Each structure stands twice: as C-alpha cells, then as structure tokens.
C-alpha cells in the first residue's frame, strides 16, 4: 500500500489479523504522516508482526511506483462506511496500470468496488473474512485484457476530458 491512512480512516486495521493468520504474507506500506506511522507502529506491536511489515516514509512518486511494481498484490483502501462514495482516488488508476491483483477494502457499494469487480481487477472486501476469501482466490485470478482497461489510462482520460470542454 502506498498512500495516506488519514489517521485510521482507511481500514488498514483489517489487514493485521490476516497477517497473523497468514505468516507467508509480507506487507510493504509507504505513508507520509507521523499520525499514520504511529498507527502502524501500534498495529504492528499489537499483532506481533514486526518481522513481516516494512514501513516506508516519504517515498518519492517514482519510488512508490517501483514498490508497487515489485508487489504481488496491491492493497487499495477506501472507507468502510461508504463516505468515500463519489470520490475515486488517483491511486486506483495508478494501480490499474500495474496490472496486478487489487485487493480493495471498503464499502461494497462505492465506485472503487464497482470498478475493481466489473473490470476483473481483483476483489473487494469489507471485513477480515472477506479479505481471507479474496486471498484464497488470487492464484486463480487472470489479468484482464489490456484493451479492457485502456479507457482508464491518463492519456484516454485526458482526451475524454478535452472532448467535454469543446
């Protein structure tokens, strides 16, 4: 995961019990703010997973892209209460370009969930059990054909926006 946790508004807490149950999982997470570092430190201590969580702070954009490219699964966090509805993070489109399984966590009726599931980009969960179910399906996942998601590239989105201004 690369991004802000907004002091716990993003449901990173759902991943930590899963780390305990799945000792083969390594979590690489890049954040900026001290409040997020404090939250992560607390969760790492609470769940005893310091040996499997790598925390990075203040990575450049290019460094975060490299971290994403090296990952097997990309973690996308939204709000659990649906308050993220109507706001699509640029992170989601960035993740799409990596062409890796996106494990989304948030409210099932938000737009991110709909995009991830409609376009076969991964799966979406809003509790620990659903996260575990999705992890069991990763090996079966097939990357969607490039033409299915090219409409979301920066170039195509810019063209679409420019056409609307005319």
**How far is Cα 64 from Cα 98, in angstroms, rounded to an integer?**
12
pLDDT confidence of residue 147 = 81
pLDDT confidence of residue 85 = 63
The candidate with the shortest Cα–Cα distance to 71, out of 138, 7, 144, 8, is 138
The candidate with the shortest Cα–Cα distance to 93, out of 84, 105, 82, 102, is 102
Query: Across residues 63-76, what is the average pLDDT?
Result: 95
DSSP 93-123: HHHHHHTSEEEEES-TTSHHHHHHHHTTSEE
Give 124-145 pLDDT, tens digit per residue.
Answer: 999 999 999 999 999 999 999 8
Are 109 and 85 in contact by the 8 Å Cβ rule? The answer is yes
pLDDT confidence of residue 42 = 98
Residue 50, pLDDT above cutoff 90 = yes
Give 87-98 pLDDT, tens digit per residue.
Answer: 677 888 889 888
Residue 146, pLDDT above cutoff 90 = no
Question: In terms of pLDDT, which residue wins out, 26 or 162?
Answer: 26
- In angstroms and rounded to an integer, the radius of gyration of the C-alpha atoms of the chain is 16
Residue 69, pLDDT above cutoff 80 = yes
pLDDT confidence of residue 154 = 65
Q: Write down the pTM of the prediction.
A: 0.89
């Amino acid at each position: 995961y690369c991004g802000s946790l907004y002091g716990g508004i993003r449901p990173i807490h759902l991943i930590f019990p899963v780390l305990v149950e799945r000792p083969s999982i390594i979590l690489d997470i890049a954040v900026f703010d001290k409040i997020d570092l404090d939250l992560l430190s607390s969760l790492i201590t609470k769940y005893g997973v310091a040996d499997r969580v790598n925390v990075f702070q203040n990575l450049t954009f290019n460094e975060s892209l490299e971290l994403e490219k090296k990952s097997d699964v990309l973690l996308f966090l939204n709000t659990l209460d649906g308050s993220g509805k109507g706001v699509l993070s640029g992170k989601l489109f960035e993740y799409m370009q990596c062409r890796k399984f996106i494990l989304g966590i948030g409210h099932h009726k938000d737009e991110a969930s709909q995009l991830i599931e409609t376009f076969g980009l991964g799966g979406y969960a809003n509790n620990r059990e659903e996260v575990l179910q999705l992890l069991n399906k990763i090996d079966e996942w097939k990357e969607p054909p490039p033409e299915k998601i090219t409409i979301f590239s920066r170039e195509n989105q810019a063209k679409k926006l420019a056409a609307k201004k005319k």
